[in-house]
Copies of this chain bind each other. A is one copy, B any other.
Amino acid sequence: MKIFIVGLGLMGASYAQKLTSVGHDVFGFDKDHNTNLKALNEGVIKGYNLKDMKDCELVILALYPNQIFEFIKSNLSYFDTQLITDISGTKTKLLDEVLELLPKSINYVSHHPMAGREKSGYDHKDVTMFKNANFLIIDSHHAKPHHIETIKKLGLDLGFKRQIVLSAYEHDELIAHTSQLTHLIAVSLMLMNKNEHTKDATGDSFRDLTRIANINEILWTELFLDNKNALIQKIDEFVDVLGELKHDILASNEVILKEKLKESKKRRISFDETNTR
């Protein structure tokens, strides 16, 4: 398949490298010209001319969420029969804008690769990060069944394990919990710290819970704001549950505490059984 990838940062470059390695004809473009030259020299892409988008079957927009709309708007003349997709971490706001902009004849199926790294940019590309990760595909009124199949195939080619199809709304609600709330928690754990000895009193739990506090502030500010409604609701739900645990501790509700921890253990073990990597 002839594929064009717009944006050759961490994600776009990793997509390009992996898709090239499994035999696709991959073209790409980055706003940084040196990145284009490097990707071409390393054999990660076959060319970096935006015009090549015209006869590609698939165009992958590996841009920050806020750049996607602008890119499509500025390059509308290149789009015709291709299938367009994007990798944005939030979907409702983006698809509302993009699907409003696009003519009905243009094929668009959004997806979200549930994988990442703390470091960004072309030089940190790493095809192993997709292995056995989850791959979410967004169903919308623009998404035809055979195009959803194409995106499923893309996920398989990249090495993702499970392909789930869901609505933009359901996606954003789930992601608010599993991804955005978890990042806000990690950030809060780092920001609340006033004791210089904290680093000496840490075990694996603190290390694990704050790994993602090493965060890309530009991307995540966008993601938090784009998914504001779902995220605020998840913060409130989380603070409620934590507040109830605090109440149980204050009141020395030993029996209730043990029951809650047992339930947590049960859920986490069940999660691991279906979600090992």
Contacts and interface: CB of A to CB of B under 8 A. Distances in A.
Contacts of A93: none
A239 interface: yes
A115 B206 CA distance: 11
Interface string A183-198: 1111111111101011
A38 interface: no
A15 to B, nearest CB: 16
Number of chain A interface residues as a range: 35 or more
A241 interface: yes
B217 A203 contact: no
This chain: copies in complex: 2
A129 to B, nearest CB: 9
B254 A213 contact: no
Contacts of A203: 114-116, 133-134, 178-179
Interface stretch (A51-59, A75-83, A140-148, A269-277): A269-277
A207 interface: yes
Q: Which 3 A-B pairs have the closest CB atoms?
A: A217-B261, A174-B201, A114-B203
Given A232-B249, A235-B246, 11 more contacts: A177-B193, A182-B209, A184-B245, A186-B209, A187-B245, A208-B208, A208-B212, A210-B271, A215-B268, A217-B262, A221-B258
7 contacts: A175-B201, A179-B203, A190-B264, A216-B265, A217-B257, A224-B257, A232-B249
